[in-house]
């Protein structure tokens, strides 16, 4: 396993700039999730590390070794794509064994069997080992393609939305499994997703990408509790952070253009009146859609609240975030 470092990477496709001056270090043994909407540059970053695309400027090193002139095969990375790609004429077992049978690795038979058995167990496909790859459901094929990466012991695993095609239950099982495989093996993993739950629950570090720029790189908790901008704050948290003009509430500091309020930053039952527009019972919690001085906001309350549409409720900000005109977070302790 190895550290991966990206140094001032820039990449354009025609007139489109996909990445702008991205510098980032994936520490050895870290689980780094790149998060952002479609077009933010997540997959491009991954493909650069894999060697499938070349940067226009900047360099990439894996384990301290410059990768500039190395082909994907020479880089010792294992990549899992969003779209599974299996050998259709082989069985599941043969597909999983394939990387281990490479003449370079020369893995002993017993070791191959042990690894394949172990990975199949984790991915819940043991009972399908002797099926043809084409006789599997989409979710099963995707698990086999994850498995084919996991049997190897590469310098770094690269994964591009590997769970997005799976159903909810399997996704939540595999989230926990992937995380524990990574934590136990000390593997370095660079993982792309637009699913914030995956980012929050699995990542040791999250890289937030915005139109090709890396805007924040920190632990999920740090990004949630201490975001650098409206954009970064909006990536994590459900319901999404509420962003209102700062002057809607009294007491905003100098330079504040916007106030950011996560549900836990809105005290209920004190402050000024707002009107409940809609009450959404989600089971474990209830979301309140409120209007406050002409602005919409969403917060969370007790699952069995008796509030209903049309009711009044007082609210007050509690340790909110403040942002400037451009959406950047104001320095801590900015006082009115």
Partner 1 sequence: MAQIRIENLRKDFGAFNAVKSSTFTVEDGEFFMLLGPSGCGKTTTLRMMAGLELPSAGEIYIDGVEVGMKPASQRDIAFVFQMFALYPHMNVRRNISYPLISQGMPRAQVKAKVAEIAEILNITDILDRPVGGLSGGDRQRVALGRAIVRDPKAFLMDEPLGALDAEFREHMSHELRALHDRMKATTVYVTHDQLEAMQMGDKIVVMNHGVVEQFGVPQDIYDWPATRFVAEFIGSPPMNFLDFRGVVGIGATHVTLGGTTLDVPELRQGAAGDLTFGVRPEHVTLDDAAPYRGRVTATEYLGTTQIVLLDTAHGVVKARVAASDPVRVGQTTGLAFDPRTITVFEGTTGRALPSRANRSVLHHG
- Contact set with partner 1 (CB under 8 A): 37-38, 167-169, 172, 175-176, 179-180, 194-197, 200-201, 220-221, 224, 236-238, 240, 262-264, 278, 280-284, 286-287, 300, 303-304
What is the nearest approach in angstroms of partner 1 to the Cβ of residue 95? 25
What is the nearest approach in angstroms of partner 1 to the Cβ of residue 63? 28
Query: Residue 62 or residue 224: which is nearer to partner 1 going by CB?
Result: 224
Q: Please tell me whether residue 252 adopts helix, strand or coil conformation.
A: coil
What is the nearest approach in angstroms of partner 1 to the Cβ of residue 96? 25
Query: Residue 58 or residue 237: which is nearer to partner 1 going by CB?
Result: 237
Query: Residue 51 or residue 220: which is nearer to partner 1 going by CB?
Result: 220
What is the nearest approach in angstroms of partner 1 to the Cβ of residue 336? 27
What is the nearest approach in angstroms of partner 1 to the Cβ of residue 159? 18
Across the beta sheet with 65-66, what order do the strands follow? 16-26, 4-13, 57-62, 65-66
Query: Residue 197 or residue 275: which is nearer to partner 1 going by CB?
Result: 197
Cβ contact 147:123 at 8 Å: yes
- Angle of CA points 332, 334, 336, to nearest 5°: 155
Query: Residue 57 or residue 197: which is nearer to partner 1 going by CB?
Result: 197
What is the nearest approach in angstroms of partner 1 to the Cβ of residue 148? 25
**In this structure, what token pair is assigned to residue 304?**
């069995």
Q: Please tell me whether residue 63 adopts helix, strand or coil conformation.
A: coil
Helix (H) or strand (E) holding 181: helix 168-185
Cβ contact 322:259 at 8 Å: yes
- Angle of CA points 312, 301, 316, to nearest 5°: 55
What is the nearest approach in angstroms of partner 1 to the Cβ of residue 291? 12
Helix (H) or strand (E) holding 233: helix 230-235
- 6: which strand partners? 24, 60
Query: Residue 283 or residue 336: which is nearer to partner 1 going by CB?
Result: 283
d(CA 155, CA 62): 8
Query: Residue 109 or residue 281: which is nearer to partner 1 going by CB?
Result: 281
CA distances from 98 to 50, 105, 134, 162, 277 (A): 19, 11, 16, 19, 57
Percentage helix, strand, coil for the chain under 3-state DSSP, each rounded to 5 = 30, 35, 35
Closest C-alpha to 163, from 133, 197, 134, 132: 197
d(CA 158, CA 154): 10
Query: Residue 134 or residue 180: which is nearer to partner 1 going by CB?
Result: 180
What is the nearest approach in angstroms of partner 1 to the Cβ of residue 38? 6
């Amino acid at each position: 396993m190895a550290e991966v470092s990206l140094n001032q990477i820039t990449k354009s496709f025609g007139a489109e700039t996909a990445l702008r001056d991205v510098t980032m270090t994936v520490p050895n043994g870290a689980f780094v999730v790149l998060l952002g909407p479609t077009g933010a540059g997540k997959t491009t970053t991954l493909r650069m590390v894999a060697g499938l695309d070349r940067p226009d400027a900047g360099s990439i090193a894996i384990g301290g070794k410059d990768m500039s002139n190395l082909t994907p095969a020479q880089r010792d990375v294992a990549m899992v794509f969003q779209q599974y790609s299996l050998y259709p004429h082989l069985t599941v077992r043969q597909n999983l064994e394939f990387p281990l049978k490479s003449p370079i690795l020369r893995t002993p038979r017993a070791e191959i069997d042990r690894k394949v058995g172990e990975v199949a167990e984790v991915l819940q496909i043991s009972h399908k080992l002797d099926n043809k790859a084409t006789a599997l459901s989409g979710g099963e094929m995707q698990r086999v393609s994850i498995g084919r990466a996991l049997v190897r012991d590469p310098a770094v695993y690269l994964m591009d939305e590997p769970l997005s095609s799976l159903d909810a239950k399997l996704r939540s099982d595999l989230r926990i499994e992937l995380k524990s495989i990574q934590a136990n093996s000390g593997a370095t993993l660079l993982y792309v997703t637009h699913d914030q739950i995956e980012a929050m629950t699995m990542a040791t570090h999250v890289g937030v990408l915005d139109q090709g720029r890396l805007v924040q790189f920190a632990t999920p908790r740090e990004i949630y509790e201490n975001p650098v901008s409206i954009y970064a704050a909006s990536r994590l948290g459900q319901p999404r952070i509420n962003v209102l003009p700062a002057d809607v509430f009294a007491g905003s500091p100098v330079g504040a253009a916007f106030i950011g309020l996560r549900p836990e930053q809105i005290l209920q039952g004190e402050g000024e009146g707002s009107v409940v527009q809609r009450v959404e019972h989600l089971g474990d919690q209830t979301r309140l859609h409120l209007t406050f001085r002409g602005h919409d906001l969403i917060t969370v309350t007790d699952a069995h609240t008796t509030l209903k549409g049309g009711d009044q409720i007082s609210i007050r900000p509690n340790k909110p975030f403040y942002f400037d005109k451009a959406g950047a977070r104001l320095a801590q302790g900015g006082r009115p």
